[in-house]
Amino acid sequence: MPSTDPRLPEQSLHRLLRNLPDRPAPRTLQHRVLAELERRAAEPSWRRSYASWPAWLRGAFVLGALLAAAVAAAGPARVLGEMALRIDSLSFARTVVRGMEGSARDIVAAIPATWLYAAAAAVAASYAILAGLGAAAYRAFAHSRHHLLSNA
């Protein structure tokens, strides 16, 4: 018989839910975990996550990343130019990099601005159309199927 105590719904439901026993885990779970642990243990160190790398390797990686960032910030051609003053063999690399930088700049400058805007608009429109079609397809098939299953 329904109760008039406003706290009873919450209390009854809480009791009902808390009395539910645990569901048995799939029999495959333990095998999967042990297999995954074995797979990870067999992985070479360079394929493991950064957190599991040896300390010296993590330090070297950070130094390398900082160096690469510094070179990118200063400009590769400028850095190579500075180095070429000290090391003769790098003058050829400096020339190549400068040539590539100049070519890229010339190509971009030669393209009319209208074309660039039109290309950007085409990319944006394609993206919007693709997302719209995806949304429509999802709502037409997956979402309605989920609702049917939920209401079954």
Partner 1 sequence: MKDAPSVQNQPAGLSQEADFATFMQNYQDMVFTCAARILADDAQAEDISQEVFVKAHAHFEMLSVSPSAGGWLKTVTTRLCLNHLQRYRRRWRFFSEFSRDDAGDDEPGVEFAAPDVFFDGMDGVDRREAVERALARLPENQRVPLVLFHFEDLSYEEIASRLGVSLSKVKTDIFRARSALARALAGLAGEPNPA
Where along the sequence are the contacts to partner 1 (CB under 8 A)? 1-3, 8-10, 12-18, 20-26, 28-30, 32-34, 36-37, 40, 131, 134-135, 138-139, 143, 150
Nearest distance from C-beta of residue 51 to partner 1, angstroms: 10
Residue type, 97: V
Q: Which amino acid, one-letter code, is at 57? A: L
Residue 21 Cβ, how far from partner 1 at the closest point, in Å? 6
SS3 of 95-123: the string is: HHHHHHHHHHHHHHHHCCHHHHHHHHHHH
What's the CA angle centered on 118, arms 113 and 120, to 5 degrees? 95
Residue closer to partner 1 by CB (options 32, 105) is 32
Q: Compute the least distance from the CB of residue 122 to partner 1, in Å.
A: 21
